[in-house]
Chains A and B, each alone.
Chain A
């Protein structure tokens, strides 16, 4: 079993890609509370879309599948897949066994991006309320140690986030666009990052 420790390191090497987008914050207070609340609704709509939340899963480390071909409810990833505590499948079957740098051109083929992994477990959104996710995304302990400006830059340019709008054949893209989502985050931040009660 000790070899798994090595394996985690081996598979983790390509797992870090980051956004190279740089954004300017909006002046604090330049966006009304009402518009800020609407911005959060838009952000929440994206975060809870299957292209995002299917991988923002909890401690069972099991990604989800959903969409028009899979019936109404999200279901566990086929093939008895667990991404393990590594969140890249190093303990069992590495995500990269099937997920390469590009989407398969075939319906139901493996989607792909420059990196393919589950976000850290502290970033799990599945099963959480809008208020809980709203608090979570502005908590550096649970958002990858980011300021909200860095969150906006992350959603604007992280390769795996961007995949959500180019998910391959048969998969519904996330709503809006990455640039619009980043704009929502900037406006929401300028309004004081209000959360629903």
Chain B
């Protein structure tokens, strides 16, 4: 199974029904993507597959031949944050932080498709990403802020 993860080609030998999430965490060592529920109910494991947000707990590795996967580690770095990550810092969105890599990945996918989201757009897209700390108002504010910066960039 050959696929690209964060720009690096990988050749992975594993059972084809293995969830992408476990490949990322256990085989590649990219632990920024989190396990939450395992049934696509929480969004904590959100990554991008060929540019589209996907719940990595539901994606079988056998379906990803030739795919390009991007995880939270593939966006920005501590020294150079992405605009969405910077907005997250500026608004101090995270509380416990567990869900936040999934939130950032979903928000990034939203802004790549819609650079002027309304509150309803944000709620419709982000409601599949649960936050047990209830940081939703800050998530919404950070997305609006990131949208403004993306348009101004």
- Interface size of A by CB at 8 A reads 31
Which residues in chain A, 1-34, are within 8 Å of chain B measured between CB atoms?
1, 3-4, 6-7, 10-11
Q: Give min CB distance, A95 to chain B, whole Å.
A: 11
A102 CA to B125 CA, complexed, in Å: 23
Q: Which residue of A lies closest to B113 (CB)?
A: A7
B55 near A110: Cβ-Cβ < 8 Å: yes
> What residues of A have a CB within 8 angstroms of the CB of B123 in the complex?
80
Partner of B114, one of A1, A11, A97, A100: A1
A54 within 8 A of B: no
B112 within 8 A of A: yes
- Tell me the interface secondary structure of chain A in the complex: loop
Which residues in chain A, 85-100, are within 8 Å of chain B measured between CB atoms?
90-94, 96-100
B121 within 8 A of A: yes
- Interface size of B by CB at 8 A reads 24
Contact flags (1/0) for B30-61 with A, using CB distance below 8 Å? Answer: 00000000111100001000001111001110
B18 within 8 A of A: no
B68 within 8 A of A: no
Q: Which residue of B lies closest to A2 (CB)?
A: B115
Q: Give min CB distance, B2 to chain A, whole Å.
A: 19
A3 near B114: Cβ-Cβ < 8 Å: yes
> What residues of B have a CB within 8 angstroms of the CB of A106 in the complex?
38-39
A45 CA to B91 CA, complexed, in Å: 53
Complex A-B, nearest 4 residue pairs according to Cβ-Cβ distance, in ascending order: A80-B127, A92-B124, A109-B39, A98-B40
